[in-house]
Amino acid sequence: MAYTVPKLKDFSPSTLNHAEEDLLAAFKQEAEDVRRLAQDPTTDLLGKRTAFKQFRDHWMARANGLLAQANENWLKAAPPKEKGGAGRTVNKIRALLKVGVDDLERHVNFCATASPETLAKVGASQALNLTEPQQRIAGQIDISLPGIHRAIGAAHPIIRTQNEIVAVFKNLGYSVAEGPVIETDYYNFEALNFPPNHPARDTQDTLFLANQESKPRREQLLLRTHTSPVQIRTMEKLTPPLRLVIPGKVHRNDPPDASHSPMFHQVEGLAVDTNITFGDLKGTLDHAMKSLFGSDVKTSFRPSFFPFTEPSAEMFVSCFICGGSGKRGNDNAPCRPCKQSGWIEILGCGMVDPNVFEFVKHNGYDPEKISGFAFGMGVDRIAMLKYGLDDLQLFFQGDVRFLEQFA
């Protein structure tokens, strides 16, 4: 039968003691039920959290939780000379319930995100032992019990991929730079040789901040559409020679679907020195791709256009899913990631356009004396390829069942 907080006929120590014992026994029983449910791999995350919240409200709700009722029936109802004893009882109960509820919450949170294997282990170890809150409520602590597990976070697969890319270039002696996500028109476009009204701006699906019309165009704010503006920002601060990678978030006005997201990630690269050639670009990027995808991959460069590089290229890697054949498995199924072509487009690159150096010429970047290459790659796409995903949105939904697989 469900427990109710009794009204007391007298407030003697023994009556209060009995009342306390009954209440704590009911609390332990109910906590144990929620604990079992949390450990049940067939109950979903929402079910576990809902059960915990109902339990907490049942006992702790300010308005009419069982603790509040004990306060009413036992403390407030006690005659003045027995208030002391009743107060001590209610205070003790309050402290014990708080500990019990907090412990249970940690346990439920842990179980809600734990794998079925971990849950099976937790269940087995606790079938033999009293649980820790019960021990504490009973006034003893069994130090031989396992501690409470706290789920440790793990790097998000996109950040992990970003770190891997950055590490490859760090090993080549590159430094890491970052820049703002809210950027001016000047850095995102103008200084990268996108003149005002140039059609190349259309390819960037830019999200502009509202109410910027009164400012001169170059000061107007937008969400950066690529990490390339940090090329200019760092060249303004640092003199050549330069070897940089620039990871970061970028935004474009693309509705989310399996291969698009209005927010995604890029890693930009920039190398400037005397006598940097297209051969350096090819060698560096070929090495980077072999480090990232395995020493078997081949690279291929095809002519392209970016306003800030000349010449520009797109780099492809041979498909590491099908080995470049365009077909998969024994039944020769078409390879989807490379669209059966055997090649996957991985980044844009090129030799820094002399017009870009003109914007930072005062800081040692005289296009007559120095040259450089640049590249930019999409981290999210690379992460999808590496982990074999077909839906980009999985990265952004925050579902622990997906994310914990990378822990």
Q: Is residue 325 exposed (0-12), middle (13-18) or buried (19+ Cβ within 10 Å)?
A: middle
Positions 63 through 92 that interact with ligand DAH (CB under 6 A): none
Chain centroid to Cα 5, Å, comes to 45
Do the Cβ atoms of 66 and 3 come closer than 8 Å?
yes
Give yes or no for residue 353 binding ligand DAH (CB under 6 A).
no
Q: Which is nearer to ligand DAH, 240 or 350 (CB)?
A: 350
Q: Which is nearer to ligand DAH, 268 or 380 (CB)?
A: 268
Give yes or no for residue 247 binding ligand DAH (CB under 6 A).
no
Output the CA angle 341-245-348, nearest 5 degrees: 30
β-strands 242-251, 175-176 pairing:
parallel
Residues that contact ligand DAH, how many (by CB under 6 A): 11
Contact partners, residue 204, CB within 8 Å, separation at least 6: 188, 189, 225, 226, 252
Nearest approach, Cβ of residue 117 and ligand DAH (Å)? 42
342 conformational bin, left if phi > 0, alpha if psi -120 to 50, beta if neither: left
Give yes or no for residue 165 binding ligand DAH (CB under 6 A).
no
Q: Which is nearer to ligand DAH, 174 or 306 (CB)?
A: 306
Q: Which is nearer to ligand DAH, 324 or 348 (CB)?
A: 348
| Sequential DSSP letters for 328-362 | ETTTTEEPTTTTTSSEEEEEEEEEEPHHHHHTTGG
Nearest approach, Cβ of residue 97 and ligand DAH (Å)? 56
Q: Which is nearer to ligand DAH, 27 or 194 (CB)?
A: 194
Residue 100 CB coordination number (10 Å): 23
Positions 216 through 245 that interact with ligand DAH (CB under 6 A): 226, 228
- Is residue 229 classed as helix, strand or coil in its secondary structure? helix
Nearest approach, Cβ of residue 114 and ligand DAH (Å)? 39
Give, for 263, the enclosing helix (H) or strand (E). strand 263-273
Q: Which is nearer to ligand DAH, 64 or 175 (CB)?
A: 175
Tokens of 383: 């992460």
Nearest residue to ligand DAH on Cβ basis: 376
Q: Which is nearer to ligand DAH, 310 or 404 (CB)?
A: 310
Among 30, 183, 268, 353, interactor with ligand DAH by CB under 6 A: 268
Nearest approach, Cβ of residue 173 and ligand DAH (Å)? 18
Positions 323 through 352 that interact with ligand DAH (CB under 6 A): 348-350
Distance between CA 224 and CA 178 in Å, rounded?
12
Q: x-or-dash pattern for ligand DAH, window 364-403, by CB under 6 A? A: ----------xxx---------------------------
Contact partners, residue 86, CB within 8 Å, separation at least 6: 11, 16, 74, 75, 78
Give yes or no for residue 103 binding ligand DAH (CB under 6 A).
no
Output the CA angle 260-263-267, nearest 5 degrees: 95
Burial 123-148 (b: 16+ CB within 10 A, else e): beebeeebbbbbebbeeeeeeeeeee
Q: x-or-dash pattern for ligand DAH, window 3-32, by CB under 6 A? A: ------------------------------
Q: Which is nearer to ligand DAH, 324 or 378 (CB)?
A: 378
Nearest approach, Cβ of residue 198 and ligand DAH (Å)? 14
Give yes or no for residue 306 binding ligand DAH (CB under 6 A).
yes
Nearest approach, Cβ of residue 355 and ligand DAH (Å)? 13
Do the Cβ atoms of 142 and 130 come closer than 8 Å?
yes
Give yes or no for residue 132 binding ligand DAH (CB under 6 A).
no
Distance between CA 28 and CA 35 in Å, rounded?
10
Q: Which is nearer to ligand DAH, 305 or 406 (CB)?
A: 305
Distance between CA 407 and CA 81 in Å, rounded?
59
Nearest approach, Cβ of residue 155 and ligand DAH (Å)? 24
Do the Cβ atoms of 221 and 258 come closer than 8 Å?
no
Give yes or no for residue 188 binding ligand DAH (CB under 6 A).
no
Q: Which is nearer to ligand DAH, 74 or 375 (CB)?
A: 375
Residues that bind ligand DAH (CB under 6 A): 226, 228, 268, 306, 309, 348-350, 374-376
